[in-house]
Chains A and B, each alone.
Chain A
Amino acid sequence: MPEMKNCTCSCAKENDEQKYKKLAELMKQYKNSEGSLIQVLHIAQAIFGCLPLELQRYIAQGMGKPLSEVSGVVTFYSFFATRPRGKHVIRVCLGTACYVRGGKKIITRLEEILGVGVGETTKDGLFTFEVARCIGACGLAPVIMIDDMVYKQVKPEKLENILAQYN
């Protein structure tokens, strides 16, 4: 699987074989629990970083479901990625509150700094740049989220300093 090699998630320390073994064991636990496909996909993405077609096929087999169903679910939800993501994921909130307080200016500035557009990953694999629907921190708008960390009242000129903390 050539595309897996570029996966830069934090679990890159484990080799593929270990990862598959881990996933297979987890799938055994979940297989009999009704409606757990989405939870399994969350886990798989945490282990592998993303969910390419090969992996979807493996999950389909493990869960005893057709590949079409697994693929259908993966492509439906925005949290699931089929291509490798950057080491850090930047999500700019464009919910109405953030929009009113200047979320769009943050997008423009980030495009300049990162040199990529929304939905893309920087060449060095450090950042994936996404837009989020409301993340529920409207009192602090505009906000961005990098991985699990929320940055409040972000101004375009603050962005470079924020990004400099990540490597």
Chain B
Amino acid sequence: MRIKNLEDLVKIKEEYNSKMAEYNYQILVCGGGGCVSSKCGEVKEALDRCLKGYGLSEKISVITTGCMGICALGPVVLIKPDETFYTKVTPEKIAEIVKSHIINGTILEKYTYYDKARQLYIPNINDIPFFKDQVKIALRNCGQIDYSSIEAYIAKDGYFAAAKALSKMSRQQVVEEIKKSGLRGRGGAGFPTGIKWEAGLKAISDQKYFVCNADEGDPGAFMDRSILEGDPHSVIEGMILGGYAVGANIGYIYVRAEYPIAVERLSTAIEEARRYGLLGKNLFSTDFEFELEIRIGAGAFVCGEETSLMASIEGRRGEPRQKPPFPFERGLFGKPTIINNVETLANIPPIIHKGAHWFSQFGTERSKGTKVFALAGNVVNTGLVEVPMGISLGDILFKIGDGIPQGKAFKAAQAGGPSGGCITKEFLNTPVDYENISKIGAIMGSGGLIVMNEDTCMVDTA
């Protein structure tokens, strides 16, 4: 079917939700990159077999989702509507879980999350400290919906923002809304997105391009990968909105070759969007058209830098050049080009849908919204977290991250990748936003946080 207006979207949403309401349970199996390497595929197969054995295949829906965030405990499984969260699941354990939880109605506590500090099991996902303190905007659907289903995305008000913008807002109004929201680029530099878009809108040219930078190169950061794999439609919708705002009708998503799963899921999502008339000509019965193409990198670190990224999309050596001219003046193929990072784009649909005012209630004076951080290294809960700007680094590492394993002492956290800085103990109370983090000699970067314990040699790391 071809979606022509908001009513069509609402209809799909209602149909999907009523279909889901018929199931007694929904079992969500995390299919994020982390859980895939922890063999979640085998868990899902065992689950399907097991449900079939009980004759429950029709009564229970099994959904593979994107990253739920807590990679260290993978494979993880969430049972709804109970919100029970099972960790380190194996094919053997899933059979026990089904028998106890689904058949007998008893939560199998021993396979749920164990809080070492308090020495107790926490079965409900919303009570687990790791999830409790998070606010999810960019990751709103990651780990919540079937990444491969456009209906599931629409059921979460997906493409509602695109429908609203294209049919009710002028380009200038979309740009204004993003400016008002205070959103800043999540790729590293923190440049205000609305101002960039305004420059794109004002550029005069017969052809403009809109590019998504998915060449996540900052070691230790994997939020872009998780968004592409877990909620590809949010990036596509962000690009449609960006393309509309600046007046570009061709978009490129430049994905690094190291992320084959992301490329595959994104390609499927693009095809689906096209089939539903959300890409191509006459979007939402307007005369706006937008085409999207994926370009795959070939393993060059420097291509995350925007001028080399454009050279690479053009099929050349990815060598950076001097700016100015800036991409909004002379970018891809010499035409005005606006480049945004994946996480930035995933924030766009909710801002347009719920309004700039809603978004700017989160965060600090000059850093609005949330930021996704990738916790890695010597920390108990390695994985992805999304927190409001301004939360202290200590809270991220110790409340959400649950501290350093084996009771070792914290030495430093590297923020912002190799070009960032290492934050030591005395700065743990620093609120994390663009300004404060630069004041202590690190950078926000793309949000990698690599924790080092007392045994890590700083000289060696450098």
Contacts and interface: CB of A to CB of B under 8 A. Distances in A.
A and B interact physically: yes
Interface of A: 34-39, 41-42, 69, 72-73, 76-80, 95-97, 99-101, 132-141, 143, 148-152
Contacts, number: 144
A36 B378 CA distance: 42
Given A38-B312, A135-B258, A140 B382 contact: yes
A100 B298 contact: no
B433 interface: no
What 6 A-B pairs have minimum CB-CB distances, sorted nearest first? A139-B71, A95-B219, A77-B298, A37-B315, A138-B376, A97-B376
A95 B216 CA distance: 12
A36 B260 CA distance: 19
B217 A139 contact: no
Contacts of B376: 96-97, 100, 138-139, 141
Contacts of B390: none
A141 B220 CA distance: 10
B36 interface: yes
A146 to B, nearest CB: 11
Interface string B265-300: 000000000000000000000000000000111111
Contacts of B314: 34-35
Contact of B295 (A38, A101, A133): A38
Nearest to A77: B298
12 contacts: A41-B298, A72-B317, A73-B317, A77-B299, A96-B414, A96-B450, A100-B376, A100-B461, A134-B220, A134-B258, A141-B377, A150-B33
A76 B317 contact: yes
Interface in B399-442: 414, 417-418
Contact of B299 (A79, A96, A99, A136): A79
A78 B298 contact: yes
Contacts of A72: 316-317
B374 interface: yes
B417 A96 contact: yes
A140 B452 CA distance: 15
A76 B317 CA distance: 6
